[in-house]
Amino acid sequence: METMSSIRNIRITPRKLGMLADEVRGKSVAQAMNYLALSPRRRVAALISSCLKSAVANAEQKGTMDIDKLVISKILVGKGTTLKRFKARAKGSASRILKYSCHLSVAVAEDTKAKAKKTSKKAKAE
């Protein structure tokens, strides 16, 4: 079972957010939170961390999952709306400035590998 959390219309480029999202994808929640706390990209790390905390809180609210065994099953960064601005240039011309935004979705699920290891150990012991 999966629980999700998302943040929409974040005023940061999808590339910057995606670089850090790739680093924490597939890690356990505790490992990801430690990694984000020590990351040099503080602004991006704070956004991912807040979304991850929300997903964990959603899992805790449902009450069907063990919070200590959660892993990041999906983390998606999508392109949002682009704000288009113009900057005055020489000889009466203008150049376009694009201000990108993005959407972030984080899904957490219980680690199925940990469950499989425990059941296989119990079967061997019996």
> Using the 8-state DSSP alphabet, how is residue 126 labeled?
-
> Using the 8-state DSSP alphabet, how is residue 64 labeled?
-
The answer to whether position 116 is within a domain reads: no
Q: Within 13 Å and on the Cβ side, how many CA atoms surround 117? A: 5
What is the span of the domain harbouring residue 16?
A: 2-111
The answer to whether position 74 is within a domain reads: yes
Say whether 34 sits in a helix, a strand or coil: helix
Give the count of domains, the chain.
1
If you average pLDDT over residues 56-67, what whole number do you get? 90
The answer to whether position 122 is within a domain reads: no
Say whether 38 sits in a helix, a strand or coil: coil
If you average pLDDT over residues 86-102, what whole number do you get? 97
If you average pLDDT over residues 35-48, what whole number do you get? 95
pLDDT for 111 equals 87
The answer to whether position 34 is within a domain reads: yes
Residue 16: closest CA among 96, 80, 61: 80
CATH number for position 56: 3.90.470.10
